[in-house]
Structure 1
């Protein structure tokens, strides 16, 4: 491998790029769960690490997905700041995903899964085209929701992680698979934290 091998994880050489992706990814999700705006900068760095890693291991849709994540990260960063309030905390309030958003996400998602699967099947050597496409679309939908602080974005991330964990293990990326088990736990934590913030105005009104 072109990147320096630091150690073996479950008998598979683990590179510096994968370790950096592991650390920055875990930190990013933890910061999102706490609604800390620094998550966006850490997340962009994480995407750059995974572009290199996924390209090396033939996960081309996931590698291309990172470019979209970077663009969505810039949008989310701007949107959270624009929401008002302290720049390092919770300027944009947590909200629910509207019905029209679900319709749009479902329609675009199904078309995107079919398109990406076809492209990967015809033009790459991927042997996990359908699963790669599914995780790509789920992740994009979740990132869109995260950028707008939609509560349901955590459910989309949970669904994506449940596919990512065995997918990366199948490809031999055991450290990354382990990272996504951690992501899954952090997603549950984030969901609970955002649910509390969503209920806070109602509780405050009831108390008043």
Structure 2
């Protein structure tokens, strides 16, 4: 068994658990996991996830800085309209990235690789702003990644990712306790904004 598989997956698991409790340490632990996971994915030829991990590292830095500046643990949610807009953006990114993987890399699973990559980035970005729907997306993408990792010969990662399914449920339930009601005018996202440029339930 590859030690990168074991240590990287273990650190990722610890980081995710800390996210469910909104601990700032989740970002730091995640950074260490990213370094190991990047090496592993490169060795396995899962190039979409190599790029994903690189972007993750940048997101981790941004997330840590934002959470440190703002100790508010309030949780928010996107409105239905905002989720539809976000879904359109995600689908467009999926098509673009899948084309890139097919045309310019030897990726053996471009569509699967592209879909999990884009969904992971979207979920992680929402986590920075404590948007509760991130856990729903994590549940979906983790189920997909379990299969991907098992097929690519990363059994320990696959088993740990299966545990993530439970953590996604746990995270949703814990964050739901801190959900802001009403959430209108509490948080703004220009990219997802409706007419009044606010997040609402």
TM-score normalised per structure 2: 0.85
Unpaired runs of at least 5, structure 1: 1-13, 85-90, 202-208
CA deviation string 1:127-153 (max 9, x = no partner): 210000000011011001100000000
Contact 1:81 1:92 (8 Å CA) reproduced: no
The farther-off stretch of 103-112 and 50-59 is 103-112
Shift of 1:99: 4.9
Question: 2:132 aligns to what SS in structure 1?
Answer: coil
Question: 1:180 aligns to what SS in structure 2?
Answer: helix
Please give the alpha-carbon distance, in whole angstroms, between the structure 1 residues aligned to 2:171 and 2:109.
29
Shift of 1:92: 3.7
Which of the numbers 103, 106, 112 marks the counterpart of 2:87?
106
Compared CA separation, residues 199 and 147, structure 1 to 2 (3 A): closer
Answer yes or no: is 1:120 the counterpart of 2:107: no
Please give the alpha-carbon distance, in whole angstroms, between the structure 2 residues aligned to 1:170 and 1:43.
24
Structure-2 residue corresponding to 1:33 = 20
Contact 1:82 1:92 (8 Å CA) reproduced: no
Please give the alpha-carbon distance, in whole angstroms, between the structure 1 residues aligned to 2:147 and 2:118.
17
Spell out the pairing of 1:121-136 with structure 2 (5 A cutoff). Answer: 121-136=102-117
Please give the alpha-carbon distance, in whole angstroms, between the structure 2 residues aligned to 1:81 and 1:183.
25
RMSD between aligned residues: 1.9
CA deviation string 1:35-57 (max 9, x = no partner): 11100000111111111011111
Q: 1 or 2 for the larger relative contact order (CA 8 Å, sep ≥6)?
A: 2
Contact 2:120 2:138 (8 Å CA) reproduced: yes
Which of the numbers 29, 35, 49 marks the counterpart of 1:42?
29
Contact 2:75 2:180 (8 Å CA) reproduced: no
Please give the alpha-carbon distance, in whole angstroms, between the structure 1 residues aligned to 2:159 and 2:120.
18
Answer yes or no: is 1:68 the counterpart of 2:55: yes
TM-score normalised per structure 1: 0.82
Which of the numbers 123, 133, 136 marks the counterpart of 1:155?
136
Unpaired runs of at least 5, structure 2: 183-201
The farther-off stretch of 103-112 and 69-78 is 103-112
Please give the alpha-carbon distance, in whole angstroms, between the structure 2 residues aligned to 1:81 and 1:98.
26
